[in-house]
């Protein structure tokens, strides 16, 4: 979008020569962000703006029988109250699903309550304060029914598909036979709690209608999908919808699928005929915009006398809502990670009176690898092996269930480099062997990290201008991970121009579809389309030059020239070339553009298993009297193909590993089993790690060449950091204390169960 001007990067970064890819350039938008100039959705204040605040349900199940709309509307500043009685009817029921990737919403189409914190009305006022007070004055009354909460709140049922459509069951071989022949057997059940994404920026909309045209400022990880969803619900042409989303204050999956509250913001603007801003309060992030469902995972494993797995069974029970289907695919990790002649994974669902879960950073892999990495560790100990040796003993040279080769897999190097950096070799095998100078228990643990390498369909447009500058347009989204920067690096190299001369446009639905910033596939998705668009431009430019006898490139043929620093040069003699400016000027062109697209490559997917891998090593200290745990050291070594920007990638790994600390020790949505209400729906009580929880963290970028995964050879880095880390920490807690905690988060009272003698 031309309304965002990126400042120049530091001079030192401009002095670089050659490739932009691989350079640790700082964030292009960093200066805008630290000076408060990066406009997030809720920063936009068009003339005539009204403020909307949602009223949300205090019960988990039942019906709203009364709202004191008169009291709210009598409050000074309140313009109107939108309720199921007067809300605009949508063109399509929000409960209709065209496909499995569409989720039901609660947008005031009836008076039913399906979960706590469900929107039940929207108050629209001249000020935020007036709207907030209007909500308080509604004093809802309910016909309440008993809430069904948790993994035991209703009957479990079989599933066909989990996550984004993966089969609920998958395996190979005969588990019972594998277990029967095992020298060592192990079985345990692990539980992970409901977790809520909580990006720092809550969901927000500023909606402006002009007839049937909508301009919407809102954070989105998938602009084209959002456009399609809105178009369906409101019965308008997607082309009439402009969504602006240049910056997101985090998404983590919560902003991947368009959510009910965002729809309510649009409805409110239509309802009052004025621009309306709706920003979720923090506590409203706990319910209507998705979460990670609870899991109970039971693993049965067997190993032969040499430590080789003979059986790996991974069964998952997970919660979803009573009105829609999303199932945390926790067992899928066990299909890819370790070699075993017998693997069986299955999932069952259980319904609860909660908002529908959704993709949350490393969906499936995060809780799944937490359980798997603990179970593998427990089996290794039982088999009398070092946990790292045990993992190496069961290294999967091919993808276990499919038998496909990996497109690349440098996991062995990850183990080696991580272990060396961490000092793993000096680890005593038995628990409770290490103390620090203060007498605190010290433990070391390891976990394997894994995440699939994906790509989504996308398109891009690239332009070279006669003045030597360039422009690339794609409706990609920067959630904070650094897309503004890394996509510009890819574009600069593709076009053969200096990074500084490249103008990138992302974050608007008016641009070519940029796919999804999700599944750790954002860079592969948008980057590949950009790469092809750039190649298209270069091809057209080459055609101009090589067919023009006035050009030094005349006769070289399209495939015989390559872009270099604003010039096309002969591949066989780089001293012979011509600048883009000269080629365009002679052709009388101000600019030349090209298009490119990218997406999954079925033949590659058929031929190769494609995953990022890593190894995470954790040190924890535990107070022996209090059970308070602190992670004191984390070393992660990750291989994810080509690294576009090591600074951004390292930052992604750090973020994932810190998330892993929170998963292991802190995050937990605490539902009162009587009401189903979440009692810690705020950031004071819903704990995530603070700086003091993460004293020392290192991420090693392990070299990996992947000629198959996509045109750029890159895999995703956004989610893998969580995987491995959770298990490494839990295993380190065991190593420190001798206590196996099998429910997350691991809290101090779990460790205090050992009887004391005070």
Partner 1 sequence: MRPFAYDRPTTIADAVASGAQPETAFLGGGTNLLDLMKGNISRPARLVDVTRLPGLSTIEWLQDGGVRIGALVRNSDLAHDPRFANRFPSVAEALLSGASAQLRNAATAAGNVLQRTRCQYFYDAASVCNKRDPGTGCGAIGGLTRLHAVLGWSEHCIATHPSDFCVPLVALDAVVEIEGRAGRRDVPLEALHRLPGNTPERETVLEPGDVITAIRLPAEAAAYAGNARYLKVRERTSYAFAVVSAGAALRLDQGTIVSARLALGGVALKPWRARAAEDLLAGALPGATVFRDAAALALAEARPCGDNGFKIELARRIIVRALTLAAAGTPDRVPALPASPFALAPTQEVSAHV
Of 133 and 313, which has the nearer Cβ to partner 1? 133
Query: Exactly one of 203, 391, 677, 715 binds partner 1 (CB under 8 A); which one?
Result: 677
Q: Which two tokens stand for residue 442?
A: 């010290």
Closest by Cα among 737, 731, 739, 736 to 445: 731
**Is residue 437 a contact point for partner 1 (CB under 8 A)?**
yes
Contact with partner 1 (CB under 8 A) among 132, 189, 240, 433: 132
Select 58 or 173, whichever has its Cβ closest to partner 1.
58
Task: Name the H helices within 51-121.
Answer: 69-74
Residue 719 falls in the annotated catalytic set: yes
Query: Judged by CB under 8 A, which of 260, 331, 364, 689 binds partner 1?
Result: 689
CA 7/CA 11 separation, integer angstroms: 12
Does residue 151 bind partner 1 (CB under 8 A)?
Answer: no
CA 165 to each of CA 111, 411, 439: distance values in angstroms, whole numbers, following the listed order: 31, 27, 50
Task: Decide: is 621 part of the binding site for partner 1 (CB under 8 A).
Answer: yes
Work out whether 435 is an interface residue with partner 1 (CB under 8 A): yes
Burial 459-485 (b: 16+ CB within 10 A, else e): bbbbbbbbebbbbbbbbbbbbbbbbbb
Q: How many CB atoms lie within 10 A of CB 454?
A: 22
Nearest CB to partner 1, comparing residues 670 and 711:
670
Shortest distance, CB of residue 726 to partner 1, whole angstroms? 16
Compute the least distance from the CB of residue 665 to partner 1, in Å: 7
User: Is 682 one of the binding residues for partner 1 (CB under 8 A)?
Assistant: yes
- Nearer to partner 1 by Cβ, of 298 and 632: the residue is 632
Q: How far is CA 87 from the centre of its chain?
A: 33
In angstroms, give the least distance from the CB of 624 to partner 1.
5
How far CA 38 is from CA of 414, 478, 531, 739, in Å, comes to 37, 12, 27, 47
Q: Closer CB to partner 1, residue 135 or residue 474?
A: 135
State whether residue 577 is helix, strand or coil. strand
Instruction: Show the binding pattern over residues 578-617: x = contacts partner 1 (CB under 8 A), - = does not.
Output: ----------------------------------------
Q: What is the DSSP secondary structure assignment for residue 755, as one 8-state letter?
A: -
- Binding segment for partner 1 among 339-347, 350-358, 591-599, 684-692 (CB under 8 A)? 684-692
Contact residue for partner 1 among 622, 649, 700, 714 (CB under 8 A) = 622
Identify which range of 196-204, 355-363, 480-488, 670-678 contacts partner 1 by CB under 8 A: 670-678
Among 685, 696, 703, 705, binds partner 1 (CB under 8 A): 685
Q: Is the dihedral of CA 402, 398, 306, 384 positive or negative?
A: negative
Residue 355 is given by DSSP the state P
- Find out whether the peptide bond into 745 is cis, omega within 30 degrees of 0: yes
CA distance 114 to 75: 29
| Closest CB 628 distance from partner 1, rounded Å | 5
Cα separation, 275 vs 269, whole angstroms: 5
> Which range touches partner 1 (CB under 8 A), out of 6-14, 459-467, 558-566, 621-629?
621-629
Considering 133, 201, 208, 719, which one is annotated as catalytic? Answer: 719
Lookup result for tokens 């604003």:
566
Only one residue has tokens 């038998």, namely 403
675 binds partner 1 per the rule CB under 8 A? yes
Contact status, residue 441 vs residue 624, Cβ threshold 8 Å: yes
Does position 627 bind partner 1 by CB under 8 A? yes
Taking CB under 8 A as the rule, does residue 136 contact partner 1? Answer: yes
Q: Which is nearer to partner 1, 600 or 673 (CB)?
A: 673
- Please, is 415 exposed, middle or buried when counting C-beta atoms within 10 Å of its C-beta (0-12, 13-18, 19+)? buried
Between 282 and 404, name the residue whose CB sits nearer to partner 1: 282
Specify the DSSP class assigned to residue 129.
Answer: H
Beta carbon nearer to partner 1, 412 or 630: 630
Among 15, 99, 691, 707, binds partner 1 (CB under 8 A): 691
Residues 272-301 that bind partner 1 (CB under 8 A): 283
Residue of 355, 310, 340 lying closest to 182 (CA atoms)? 310
Q: Are strands 611-622 and 166-167 parallel, antiparallel or unpaired?
A: unpaired
Query: How far, in Å, CA of 37 to CA of 30, rounded?
Result: 10
Position 66 contacts partner 1 (CB under 8 A): no
Interatomic CA distance for residues 573 and 336, integer angstroms: 46
Nearer to partner 1, 76 or 100 (CB): 76
Contacts of 37 (CB under 8 A, 6+ apart): 31
**Residue 692 engages partner 1 in binding (rule: CB under 8 A):** yes
Catalytically active residues are 719
- Applying CB under 8 A, the residues found at the interface with partner 1 are 58-59, 76, 116, 129, 132-133, 136, 283, 435, 437-441, 621-628, 630, 665-666, 670, 672-675, 677, 679-680, 682, 684-685, 687, 689-693, 737, 739, 747-749, 751-752, 754-758
């Amino acid at each position: 979008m031309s309304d965002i001007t990126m400042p120049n990067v530091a001079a030192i970064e401009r002095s670089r020569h050659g490739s932009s890819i691989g350079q640790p350039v700082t964030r292009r938008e960093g200066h805008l962000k630290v000076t408060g100039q990066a406009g997030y959705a809720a920063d936009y204040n068009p003339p005539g703006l009204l403020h909307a605040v949602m009223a949300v349900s205090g019960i988990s199940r039942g019906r709203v029988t009364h709202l004191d709309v008169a009291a709210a509307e009598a409050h000074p500043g309140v313009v109107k109250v939108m309720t199921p009685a007067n809300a605009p009817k949508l063109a399509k029921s929000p409960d209709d699903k065209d496909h499995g990737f569409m989720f039901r919403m609660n947008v005031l189409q009836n008076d039913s309550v399906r979960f706590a914190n469900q929107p039940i009305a929207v108050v629209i006022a001249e000020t935020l304060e007036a709207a907030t007070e209007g909500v308080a004055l509604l004093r809802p009354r309910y016909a309440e029914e008993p809430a069904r909460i948790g993994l035991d709140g209703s009957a479990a049922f079989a599933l066909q598909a989990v996550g984004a459509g993966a089969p609920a069951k998958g395996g190979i071989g005969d588990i019972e036979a594998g277990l029967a022949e095992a020298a060592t057997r192990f079985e345990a059940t692990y539980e992970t709690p409901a977790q809520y994404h909580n990006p720092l920026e809550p969901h927000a909309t500023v909606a402006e209608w002009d007839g049937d045209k909508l301009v919407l400022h809102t954070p989105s990880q998938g602009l084209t999908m959002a456009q399609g969803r809105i178009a369906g619900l409101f019965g308008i042409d997607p082309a009439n919808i402009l969504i602006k989303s240049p910056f997101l204050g985090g998404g983590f999956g919560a902003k991947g699928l368009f959510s009910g509250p965002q729809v309510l913001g649009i409805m409110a603007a239509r309802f009052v005929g004025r621009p309306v801003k709706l920003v979720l309060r923090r506590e409203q992030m706990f319910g209507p915009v998705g979460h990670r469902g609870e899991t109970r995972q039971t693993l049965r494993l067997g190993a032969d006398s040499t430590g080789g797995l003979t059986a790996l069974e991974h069964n998952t029970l997970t919660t979803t809502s009573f009105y829609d289907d999303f199932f945390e695919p926790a067992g899928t990790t066990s299909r890819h990670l370790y070699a075993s002649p017998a693997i069986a994974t299955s999932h069952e669902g259980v319904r609860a009176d909660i908002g529908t879960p959704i993709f949350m950073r490393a969906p499936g892999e995060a809780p799944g690898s937490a359980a798997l990495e603990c179970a593998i560790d427990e089996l290794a100990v039982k088999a009398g092996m070092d946990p790292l040796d045990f993992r190496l003993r069961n290294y999967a040279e091919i993808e276990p269930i499919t038998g496909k080769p990996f497109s690349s897999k440098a996991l062995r190097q990850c183990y080696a480099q991580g272990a060396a950096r961490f000092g793993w070799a000096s680890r005593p095998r038995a628990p409770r062997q290490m103390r620090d100078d203060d007498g605190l228990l010290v433990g070391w643990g390891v976990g394997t990290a894994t995440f699939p390498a994906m790509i989504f369909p996308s398109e891009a447009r690239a332009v070279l201008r006669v003045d030597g500058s360039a422009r690339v347009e794609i409706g990609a989204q920067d959630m904070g991970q650094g897309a503004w920067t890394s996509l510009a690096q890819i574009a600069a190299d593709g076009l053969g121009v200096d990074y500084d001369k490249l103008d990138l446009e992302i974050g608007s639905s008016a641009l070519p579809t940029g796919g999804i910033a999700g599944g750790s596939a954002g860079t592969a998705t948008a980057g590949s389309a950009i790469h092809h668009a750039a190649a298209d431009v270069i091809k057209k430019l080459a055609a101009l030059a090589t067919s023009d006898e006035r050009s030094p490139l005349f006769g070289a043929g399209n495939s015989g020239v390559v872009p270099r620093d604003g010039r096309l040069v002969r591949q066989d003699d780089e001293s012979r070339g011509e600048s883009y400016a000269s080629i365009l000027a002679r052709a009388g062109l101000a600019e030349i553009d090209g298009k490119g697209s990218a997406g999954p490559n079925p033949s590659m997917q058929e031929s190769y298993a494609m995953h990022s891998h890593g190894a995470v090593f954790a040190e924890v200290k535990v107070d022996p009297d209090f059970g308070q745990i602190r992670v004191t050291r984390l070393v992660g070594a990750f291989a994810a193909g080509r690294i576009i920007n090591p600074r951004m990638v390292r930052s992604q790994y750090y973020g994932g590993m810190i998330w892993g600390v929170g998963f292991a020790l802190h995050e937990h949505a605490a539902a009162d089993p009587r009401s189903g209400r979440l009692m810690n729906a705020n950031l004071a009580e819903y704990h995530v790690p603070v700086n003091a929880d993460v004293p020392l963290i290192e991420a090693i970028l392990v070299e990996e060449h992947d000629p198959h995964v996509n045109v750029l050879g890159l895999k995703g880095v956004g989610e893998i950091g969580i995987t491995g880390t959770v298990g490494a920490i839990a295993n380190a807690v065991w190593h420190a204390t001798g206590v196996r905690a099998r429910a997350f988060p691991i809290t101090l009272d779990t460790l205090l169960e050992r009887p004391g003698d005070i």
